[in-house]
Each structure stands twice: as C-alpha cells, then as structure tokens.
Amino acid sequence: MPMGQRSGIVIVILLLSLAFASPAFDIADLSHLDSGRVYAPNALWMENPIELTFGHSREVTVADLKGPAEITMIHFAMPATLALGREAILRIFWDDEESPSVECPLVDFFCDPAGQYDQVNTCLVNKRRGFNCYFPMPFRKHAVVQLVYDGDLPPGPELISKMPCYSYVMVRTKTEIPEDSGYFHASWRQESLPLGLREYLALDAVGKGKFIGWNVTVRRPGSAGYPVDMNEKFFIDGEKQASVELQGIEDSFGFSWGFPPSDNVFPLTGYMKFFKGAAAYRFFLNDSISFSRSLRVTIGFGENEHPMFREVFGKETNPLQLSSTVYWYQKEPHHPLPPLPPVSERKPPRMTILSGLSRKCYRPHRSFSHAVSASSCTAEGLRKKSCMLNRVTASQRWMVMPMMAGPRRFTTAAPMPGP
C-alpha cells in the first residue's frame, strides 16, 4: 500500500478513536453553533506582565476565571532546558474553595511520571515539547489555575529557564452549568510499603461523583523486576467487598502475562518502562465508576491470591514503591487532598533492597510447570535480587522468575536505566 494511503488510514482511525473515546473529541458535535464566548488567558512568557511569570514569584496564577464557564484545554510549554521533574505543581481551585481540587506534580498529571518521557499520547492528555490537557472542567462561579515551583531557586532568570515558559487556558463561557455536572479533581500520591501487610491507597473520596481514570507506577527501588499480581480494588459507598476488583495490575491497564517488552501508548490505555519498573494509565470513559457517598481505591493482593506474595512482600526490607495520579469528578465540597511530600521525597529514590527471596526460586521450564530449588539459581542472581514474580499455567499457577539476559516470555519489559 502506498505511504500516502497508509497515512490517510492512520489519520481516519485516530479520528474515529478520539471521537468515540472522549466527549472532548466528539466530532459529531462540530456542526453545533455554540453560544458561549471563547477566550484564552496567557501567562509565563515574557510578553505577559511580570507578575504572571516566574521572574516575580515562585507561585503563578496562570488563569483567574469567572463563571459560569468551562475550561476546555490547558497548555504548558516545556522549559527552555526541555526537562522538568516533580518540582512543578499544578493546582486548581473551584468557586473560592480554600483546599485545591487539583494538586499534582505537573508531569504526573500529564501521564509523564517524574518527567521521564519525551512523548505521551492519550485521548485526554499528551506531551511532546509541550503539555496539553483536554479534560472538560465546568465551574459555576470562579476558577483559579496555578503553577507552583517547589524548589530552592528564587524568582528570576534561572527559575524562568527551568519552569514551563508559556501557558494558555482555553475557556468557553456558559449561561449555566447543569445541576448534575461535577467538578474535576486530580490527586497524586506516592508510597513505599510492604504490600503484603497493607494496601496502597490511591483515592479516598467523600461525596457524589465518578472515577474516570488514573496513571500508576510500580517498582522495587534498587532492584529489577516487580510483581504484577496485585489487584485494583474500588470500594463504592463504604462497601466492605469491592464491587470492582480487577485481578492483575497489567490486566487492569489492558495487558496480560506481565507488561509487554516495549512501550504501548493507546488512547485509553498504555504502558511505558519506568526506571526498573512500570508506568501505566487507563481512562474509564464509557465505564466510569460512579459513587453516591464515597469511593476508596486501593492496590493490593487479592483475598485468594497465593500466600507466597504476602510472605515475600510483607517484609519491611522488601517494599514496593507505587505512585498514582487519579482523575475524578464530584460535587463540592470535597474531602481535602493528601498533602504532597517534600520535593526531595517525590523523586524516585535510589535504594538497595533485600528481596527476601532466599528460600526458593522458581525457573520456568518450557511447560511452565516445573519448580526447582534455590540452589539451581545462581548465587550471583540471588545477590543481584533478580527474581521476579510472574504467571504460569493453572497446574503451577505462580512462580518467581529470574530476570535473565535475552528474550523473556511473560516477564516485564527490560528495565530502563536508572535507580
């Protein structure tokens, strides 16, 4: 097929996927003549007043908006250095509230955990020499969008060079906001914990709303490999047994038998290598999870999971580190978001962890059903803590698989350089 035809097919497929993936890309509605006025506040670039730049302050209000209206897009340009970490914080306040409804490291908000990727492509956020967000964000009275530098540099030229150098916020005025419209929220967390003893908490929301997506990272600091056998649990309205419990973290993000060996970026789901672990995202658009009173979202091993997982990852010396950015809508007021840790603690730490995998190590046979003793695993491999957890057949369902050179089946992707 000629290159031109292939390019045309790709564009058509992309447009169709976006049209059905998100209301923000509903091409069927393009012919509707909207009555609202569109405007776009600018900030950060040198053409704007000094108080709208990081030459004046380490906290810049990039948009101060009157309602009723709806934010339809937010854009941030990359810094002049073309690098950004978790020192930049995005905050959004609705209707004169004191506690922000959005508070995240800017990079993690855009599915770019710790600022590790040159390019991200999803249906609602993307990055390539700039950050773009398409979540619809209606508000009734007032909205404030802030970008905050949480580091040691004072306002001035050096800080300007290290922070996003330009922003604009696209806004459409409304005559009113429907009563059943929720306010957009996003929150970031990170924790290193023995997952065999307690579960990772990603969201603890109070009120009426719906969960629409998240991005998550998992890693064993200082070690290659990580388990993929934890479940993602959604406890709706105070229930004791989760109504939604997705079995296997890679399955919950649309994959299976571990994450694939290469990065995969789709409109609604995706996976990317993250240091020696994994980063993944998923948007729940047609299957958003509604709640009337509360929603609690956790990651942990299932009740009927093999006890080996809780034994191995129940040791304080063998923690997993998880981080997450959760996106949801809800009625105000909202439960206060958890405070962000200091910027030094938001960086993925460099640690050497004892794995506790000394009793037995399982090596996959072609039939994936034979286990061998730890003596069959090389001492070098054990010293490097190279064993990882993975799935096998029903007859020998779970095993600890050594990370070995060369092609691997049913393993995580080869780790990217880093801690």
Residue-wise pLDDT tens for the chain (419 aa)?
554 554 444 444 444 444 444 445 567 778 888 889 999 999 999 999 999 999 999 999 999 999 999 999 999 999 999 999 999 999 999 999 999 999 999 999 999 999 999 999 999 999 999 999 999 999 999 999 999 999 999 999 999 999 999 999 999 999 999 999 999 999 999 999 999 999 999 999 999 999 999 999 999 988 888 999 999 999 999 999 999 999 999 999 999 999 999 999 999 999 999 999 999 999 999 999 999 999 999 999 999 999 999 999 999 999 999 999 999 999 999 999 999 999 999 988 655 444 443 333 222 222 222 232 333 333 333 333 333 434 333 333 333 333 323 232 223 344 444 55
Which positions ≥6 away from 133 have C-beta within 8 Å? 73, 74, 75, 109, 110, 124, 125
Domains of the chain: 35-173 (2.60.120.1390), 183-346 (2.60.120.1390)
Predicted pLDDT at 4 = 53
Predicted pLDDT at 225 = 85
* Amino acid in the structure at residue 367: S
Predicted pLDDT at 30 = 84
Rounded CA separation 231/320 (Å): 14
Which positions ≥6 away from 231 have C-beta within 8 Å? 245, 246, 247, 248, 249, 252, 299, 300, 301, 302, 305
Per the CB < 8 A criterion, the answer to whether 229 and 391 are in contact is: yes
Widest distance between CA atoms in the chain = 73
Closest of 67, 44, 276, 13 to residue 161, by C-alpha: 44
Integer CA distances (angstroms), 50 to 56, 89, 125, 269, in order: 6, 20, 29, 40
Closest of 340, 251, 248, 239 to residue 289, by C-alpha: 239
Predicted pLDDT at 335 = 93
Predicted pLDDT at 374 = 33
- Tokens linked to 347: 């960086």
Predicted pLDDT at 419 = 56
pTM of the model: 0.82
Q: Which residues of 362-394 are buried (b: 16+ CB within 10 A; e: fewer)?
A: bbbeeebeeeeeeeebeeebbeebbbbbbbbee
Length of the chain in terms of residues written = 419
- Tokens linked to 85: 């970490």
